[in-house]
Structure 1
Amino acid sequence: MCTHRDGQHHGLLEDLEYGTALWFRWDGPDVELVVLPDCPVVGPGPDGEACCLFADHAGQHTWEEAHFVEEVPCIS
């Protein structure tokens, strides 16, 4: 299975005013620009690291340990 082939994906374009950012959102050939609020979740502890994704994102927060499976190159 090829990583990032199916489903909706996001890519950060630029931070905007505090608490929002401009993101690319694509699903196949369809691409749009969207302004999304920042994810409000921070890591545990007194110096908790902020999540660098948007609110209500799927999957883990950026500060969580990732358990990756081996990726297969996307070659067609």
Structure 2
Amino acid sequence: MDTAVQCRLSAHGEGEHFGLLTDNGAYGTALWLRWHGAGEAELVVLPDCPVAAPGPDGDGCCLFVDHAQQHTWEDTPEEVPCTS
């Protein structure tokens, strides 16, 4: 897998990886690359994760519905923001 696209999920070594290509698709969806290990990537359109951080001004999660790991607003500050 080309390192130009990085997995957006929290740090993990195995399993599926997902790299965001664009969120300019149909409302509530985004175009993602999905791959496993060094295998070939495939394009997938996934619905946005609807979960937001607690509180009235909570940030929304920048991943997709039913993603593994934690929500993006639970990540450490060193993580890549969803508007990269």
Aligned equivalent of 2:72, options 62, 65, 69: 62
Q: TM-score, normalised by structure 1?
A: 0.75
Instruction: Work out the number of aligned pairs and report it.
Output: 64
User: Would you say 1:23 and 2:32 are equivalent positions?
Assistant: yes
Residues 46-65 of structure 1: CA deviation (Å, up to 9, x unaligned): 11110000000011101114
Distance 1:5 1:65, change over 3 A: closer
| Higher radius of gyration, 1 or 2 | 1
SS at the partner of 1:63? helix
Identity of paired residues, percent?
67
Q: TM-score, normalised by structure 2?
A: 0.69
Could you say what the CA RMSD is over the residues aligned between the two structures, in angstroms?
1.6
SS at match of 2:74: coil
1:70 aligns with none
The C-alpha deviation readout for 1:6-29, integer Å capped at 9, x for no partner, is 321000001112200000000121
Segments of 5+ residues of structure 2 without an aligned counterpart are 1-10, 77-84
